[in-house]
Structure 1
Amino acid sequence: MSHKYEGGCDHVHTHADAEPIDNHECHCNVCKSVTGQHTTHVAFFNHGDLKVDHPEKLARQPFNKDNPNGPLELCTCKDCGAAIMLDDKQKRIRVAVPNIMGYDDAKFPKATYHAFYDNTKGYPKPDDGRPVYEGFRPEFAMPAGA
């Protein structure tokens, strides 16, 4: 069965048929540290919309090493070490990073804005026509947890 968005590795598969609830180009230091990318395209899904077929095969570690008790965990495959998703311990969201989590990035909608841009970081403000914010887009609200 084919799904709208499919990712993962040979051992653990994720999929979603719903659209992301938030889809942005992230400029935060945590994403930079974890991905090694200058900016990172991230897609937030409601927790129940991004499914994982073998959760028992996930190794979990804090997403933010400076906040190890924070809500987000980076889930990697216990067999091969591939990054699979970010999972929220509060069961609000799950996050896909299409270009490093086994997805076809071209199937995802283009990020609609830039998040967590900080003009003190020493690089120019993005000028690609998409809005640029110091945090999430103003109308975004984290969904309630389970």
Structure 2
Amino acid sequence: MSHKYSGGCDHIHTHSNNDPIDNHTCHCSVCKGVTGQDTTHVVFFKHSDLAVDDISKLNRQPFNANNPNGPLELCTCAECGTPIMLDDKESRIRVIVPNLMGYNADDLPATYHAFFDPASGVAKPNDGRPVFEGLRPEFVWPTPA
């Protein structure tokens, strides 16, 4: 069966037939540390909107090493180690990074820049998309699933 959005690896597949609730380019230090990228294209889905075909095949670790009890866990394939998603222990969101988690980034374009810190010394993005020091002001966390 074909899905609107799909990704994963050869062993674990994720998909959604619903649009994401947020797409942004993240500038935070946690994303930089985990991905090794200067900026990270991040896509939030409602927790119940992103399905995993075999969740028992996931290894879980804290997403933020400086906050190991935080709500997000990095889920990787237990067989090959591929990052599959970030899972929210509070069941609000599931997060994918298209270029690392098997998704077509062109289908899920980032609409703004999040967590930009002017004190970082990095030039403010000037690609025409809004730039915020956090998530976009109108973002509302979904109710847990």
Tell me whether the two structures share a fold, i.e. TM-score over 0.5. Answer: yes
| Corresponding residue for residue 121 of structure 1 | 120
Amino acid at match of 2:35: T
Residues 17-32 of structure 1 correspond to what in structure 2 (within 5 A)?
17-32=17-32
| Alignment TM-score, normalising by the size of structure 2 | 0.98
Partner SS, residue 56 of structure 1: helix
Amino acid at match of 1:57: K
Q: Using the alignment, how far apart are the partners of 2:55 and 2:118 within structure 1?
A: 39
5+ unaligned residues in a row in structure 1: which ranges? Answer: none
| Alignment TM-score, normalising by the size of structure 1 | 0.97
The alpha carbon displacement at 1:96 in A equals: 0.8
| Corresponding residue for residue 110 of structure 2 | 111
Q: Using the alignment, how far apart are the partners of 2:119 and 2:77 within structure 1?
A: 36
**1:104-140, Cα deviation, whole Å (9 max, x unpaired):** 22222x2110000001111100011110000000000
5+ unaligned residues in a row in structure 2: which ranges? Answer: none
Q: Using the alignment, how far apart are the partners of 1:105 and 1:135 within structure 2?
A: 22
Q: Using the alignment, how far apart are the partners of 1:89 and 1:62 within structure 2?
A: 10
- Computed over aligned residues only, the root mean square deviation of the Cα atoms, in angstroms, reads 0.7
Q: Using the alignment, how far apart are the partners of 2:135 and 2:31 within structure 1?
A: 14
Amino acid at match of 2:65: K
Q: Using the alignment, how far apart are the partners of 2:24 and 2:94 within structure 1?
A: 14
Partner SS, residue 2 of structure 2: coil
Once superposed, which parts of structure 1, at least 4 consecutive aligned residues long, lie more than 2 Å away?
none
| Corresponding residue for residue 39 of structure 2 | 39
Q: Using the alignment, how far apart are the partners of 1:106 and 1:26 within structure 2?
A: 17
Q: Using the alignment, how far apart are the partners of 2:115 and 2:55 within structure 1?
A: 30
| Corresponding residue for residue 142 of structure 1 | 141
Residue correspondences, number: 145
Amino acid at match of 2:116: Y
**1:63-94, Cα deviation, whole Å (9 max, x unpaired):** 00000000000000000000000000000000
